[in-house]
Amino acid sequence: MTARLVDIAAQAGVSEATVSRVLNGKPGVAAATRDAVLAALDVLGYERPVRLRRRGSAGLVGLITPELDNPIFPALAQVIGQALTRQGYTPVLATQTPGGSTEDELTEFVPVVRKIEGFRLGLRERLGLSGAAADELVQHSLYTLEGGQAAATALIAKGCTGIVCASDMMALGAIRAAREQGLDVPRDISVVGFDDSPLIAFTDPPLTTVRQPVQAMGQAAVRTLLEEIGGTPAPHSEFVFLPELVVRGSTASGRRGGTAAP
C-alpha cells in the first residue's frame, strides 16, 4: 500500500498524505488536487475505490428512434427529452442504422399490423369488401416519401381514387405519384396521411391526416420508465391512444372508384 501511495503521489505531484486523504474521502482537499489524484489513479492503472468511480452514466436515459427524416420522430423525441429533463435526467438520442429495417420487417410491426387491420375493417364496413378483395387494395412499402410514391403508383394503376397512407411522408410521396400521372389532388384522387407531423398543414395541398397524440404518448412513456426506475414494475400491457382525423385540402368528396392504403 505504501508503494502505491508513493507512485500515485509522484504521478499527481502531491504528498502521500494528500493521496491518502483523497482515497479515504477526507475533507480539506482542493477540487483540482482531488482531480489530479484521481487522474493519477487512472494513468497508473489502479482501480478507483467504489465511492470515487466515475458516475458519468448516472441519470442518462437512451432514446432510440428508427430515423429522424420523418418529422414525427424528432417531435416525439423532443417531448420525451423535455419530460426527462424536468425530472433531472439527461436524454441521449440515437437512431437505428440507415436501412436497418427491411420492408418485410416493417410490415410485421404492431403502428403497421393495426393500421392494416383498421383499414380492412373500414373496407368491410363501408364497402362490403373483405378477404382477397381487401388485400388487393393494400400495398406494402417503406415509410418514406419514395416508398409512398412507389406504392401509390401501383394503386393508381388499379384505379384507386383515394389513398390512405401509414405516414405523412408516404402521403407526400403519394401526391407526387398522382401529379406525375397528371392527376389533381384532391379533384382526381384524395390522399390521407398519418401522424400530423410538424409543418404538414402547410404542404400543397394542406394534408388531411390522422393526428397522433404525441404529447400524451411521450409523457406516458417517461412516466412508465420513471416508475420502473423507482422500483415499480411496468405493467405487462401497452398503452393505446385515440388518434384524431384532421381534414384539410388533400381530400374531397369521392367519385366512383376504389380506395387503397400503402
Would you state the pLDDT for residue 252?
A: 94
Would you state the pLDDT for residue 256?
A: 55
Would you state the pLDDT for residue 162?
A: 95
- CB within 8 Å of 171: residues ≥ 6 apart: 148, 163, 165, 191, 192, 193, 194, 207, 209, 250
Helix (H) or strand (E) holding 43: helix 31-44
195 touches 212 (CB < 8 A): yes
- CA atoms of 51 and 147, how far apart (whole Å): 53
* Domains of the chain with bracketed CATH: 2-52 (1.10.260.40), 103-213+232-260 (3.40.50.2300)
Q: pTM for the full model?
A: 0.70
Would you state the pLDDT for residue 177?
A: 98
Output b/e per residue, 154-184; b: 16+ Cβ within 10 A. Answer: ebbeeebbbbbbbbbbbbbbbbbbbeeeeee
Peptide bond just before 186 cis, omega within 30 deg: yes
The residues with which 132 forms a beta bridge, in sequence order, are none
Q: Give the SS3 label for residue 138.
A: strand
- CA atoms of 96 and 114, how far apart (whole Å): 23
Listed as ranges, residues in the chain with pLDDT below 50 are 1-2
